[in-house]
Amino acid sequence: MAVWTLAEQAGGRLKRVSYELLTWGRHLADGLEASGRPAELCAIALGARLREEDLEELTERGADRVCVAESPGLDPFLVEAHAGVLEMLVRWGRPEIIIAAATTAGRTLMPYLAVRLETGLTADCTRLEIDPDTGHLVQIRPAAGGKVLATIMTADHRPQMATVRPHAAQPPPRRPAAPALGACITRVDVPDGLAESPVEWLALRAEQAAGAAVQDAERVVAGGRGLKRAEGFGVVRNLARALEAAVGASREAVDRGWIGYPHQVGLSGKTVTPRLYVAVGISGAIQHLAGMQTADVIVAVNEDADAQIFQVADLGVVGDLFEVVPALVEEVERRRAAREGDG
C-alpha cells in the first residue's frame, strides 16, 4: 500500500511545500500502519531536470521512495502534460492515497486527474486521518463559509485524493545522515508523446506577491477592525517592526482598504503557521481562525473580554490596544537595548 505526495518544482528546484506534504503523508502512512496496513510514503516529482540534492532531501525528510519522471514537457507546469504522466504512474503504482498542495498548480492538476481516474477529491483539507477500523482516509475541511467542519470520505474509490494548504504544516526535520531506511530514488521513463500539452507556454511576468512575506514569516502581527482607521495600522506596524514580524490583517481591515489583500489571513486569505501570531483588535471569527489557528504561540489584544480570539490565545490581554500595544513596543525596545548594553 502506498501514500503518494506530489512534489512541486519551479525551474528544477523543489518548492518548500513539497517537503511539507511529507509531514501529512508520514502521518497517514503511520495511520495505515497502525490499522494493520503497512504503507510506503512515496514522493512523486515531475519536471524537466530536477536538482539531485532536492530529490535526496525528500528522502532525508522521510520519503521511503522518490519517484522521478523527467521530460522537457514537464517544466513549466502544463496540466495536460502532468496529468498524462501521472495517470500512467497511478495506473501502474495504484496508490491508496494521493495528496497535493492546494496551490494554483495542485488545484488544477488534482481535479483534472481525479475525473480521469473516476475517483473523489477533497480540496483544502485542514486535517487528514486514517480511520483505524476501515483504513479509509478521513478528510476534514471547513464548509459553509467556515462555519462548520465537514468530514468527507471516499470509501469506494481509489486512490483517495486530497489537497492541503501550503504552510498549514512544517516540513519534517531533515536527517541528512540517516535517510529513511532503504529509501531509494526511482526514475521512470516517460513514453513519447505523454508529457505533451496542446497549450503553449509563453512567458512569466514575475511579480513577488506581497503575501509571500506573511506566509513565510516566523512571526506575524495582525490587525483588525479594532484599529478603527487606516492610520491605526501604524500601531500594528510599529509592533511588527519591534518584533521583526510581518504584518497580517483580518478581512474587515482589508475590506475597509486599510491594507492590501495579500496581507489577509483566514479562510479567504492566507494560511499561516508562524512561531508567533499576535492578533490586535481582531475578534476571532471562525473564518479568521481558519488561517492562523496552527501558529505555535498566539497572543491577542482586545478590549472585549468575551472576544472569541481569547479562546485560541495562549496569552490574552484585555484592554485598549491603543494603550497596550505602544506600551509593549516601548517595553520590547527597552529590554532589547538593555540586553545589547549587557553584551
Partner 1 sequence: MHVIVCIKQVPETSNVRMDPQTGTIVREGVESIVNPFDLHALELALRLKEQRGGRVTAISMGPRAAETAIREALSMGCDDGLLLSDRAFAGSDTWATSRVLSAAVRKLAPFDLVLAGVRATDGETGQVGPGVASLLALPLATYVSSVLELTDGFVTVERLIEEGYESLRLPLPCLLTAGKEVGFPRLPTLRGKQRARRQEVVHRGPTDIEVDAARVGLAGSPTRVTAIERPTLTRTGRIVDAARIGAGRAAAELADFLQEHHLL
Ligand X SMILES: Cc1cc2nc3c(=O)[nH]c(=O)nc-3n(C[C@H](O)[C@H](O)[C@H](O)COP(=O)(O)OP(=O)(O)OC[C@H]3O[C@@H](n4cnc5c(N)ncnc54)[C@H](O)[C@@H]3O)c2cc1C
User: Is residue 167 within 8 Å of 20, Cβ to Cβ?
Assistant: yes
Task: Determine if 256 is a binding residue for partner 1 (CB under 8 A).
Answer: no
The 8 Å CB, 24+ separation contacts for 253-261 are: 253/223, 253/224, 253/225, 253/227, 256/225, 256/230, 257/230, 258/223, 258/227, 258/229, 258/230, 258/232, 258/233, 259/223, 259/230, 259/233, 260/210, 261/211
Task: Determine if 320 is a binding residue for ligand X (CB under 6 A).
Answer: yes
Q: Compute the distance between CA of residue 43 and CA of residue 10 in angstroms, rounded to an integer.
A: 16
Name the amino acid, one letter, at 103.
Answer: T
| 46 contact choice in ligand X, partner 1, none (CB below 5 to 8 Å, kind-dependent) | none
| 269 contact choice in ligand X, partner 1, none (CB below 5 to 8 Å, kind-dependent) | ligand X
The distance of closest approach from Cβ of residue 21 to partner 1 in the complex, given in angstroms and rounded to an integer, is 16
| 88 contact choice in partner 1, ligand X, none (CB below 5 to 8 Å, kind-dependent) | none
Q: How many CB atoms lie within 10 A of CB 174?
A: 12
| 113 contact choice in partner 1, ligand X, none (CB below 5 to 8 Å, kind-dependent) | partner 1
- For residues 74 to 113, the per-residue mask of contacts with partner 1, x marking binding by CB under 8 A and - elsewhere, is --x-xxx--x-------------------xxx-xxxxxxx
Sole binder of ligand X in the list 225, 236, 245, 263 (CB under 6 A): 225
Ranges within 84-103 binding ligand X (CB under 6 A): none
- For residues 231 to 250, the per-residue mask of contacts with ligand X, x marking binding by CB under 6 A and - elsewhere, is -------------------x
Task: Determine if 178 is a binding residue for partner 1 (CB under 8 A).
Answer: no
Task: Determine if 175 is a binding residue for partner 1 (CB under 8 A).
Answer: no
Q: How far is CA 195 from the centre of its chain?
A: 27
User: Is residue 123 within 8 Å of 97, Cβ to Cβ?
Assistant: no
Task: Determine if 322 is a binding residue for ligand X (CB under 6 A).
Answer: yes
Task: Determine if 222 is a binding residue for partner 1 (CB under 8 A).
Answer: no
Ranges within 142-161 binding partner 1 (CB under 8 A): 142-145, 147-157
Rg (CA), the chain: 22
Query: Considering only CA atoms, which of 168, 188, 135 is closest in space to residue 29?
Result: 135
Q: Count the site residues for ligand X by CB under 6 A.
A: 30
| 18 contact choice in partner 1, ligand X, none (CB below 5 to 8 Å, kind-dependent) | none
Nearer to ligand X, 6 or 265 (CB): 265
| 53 contact choice in ligand X, partner 1, none (CB below 5 to 8 Å, kind-dependent) | none
Query: Considering only CA atoms, which of 33, 5, 4, 27 is closest in space to residue 18?
Result: 5
Please report the DSSP string for 70-123 in residue order: E-GGGSS--HHHHHHHHHHHHHHH--SEEEEE-STTHHHHHHHHHHHTT--EEE
Residues 6+ apart with CB under 8 A from 335: none
- For residues 258 to 287, the per-residue mask of contacts with ligand X, x marking binding by CB under 6 A and - elsewhere, is ------xxxxxx-----------xxx-x-x
Site for ligand X, rule CB under 6 A:
145-146, 224-226, 250-253, 264-269, 281-283, 285, 287-288, 291, 301-304, 307, 320-322
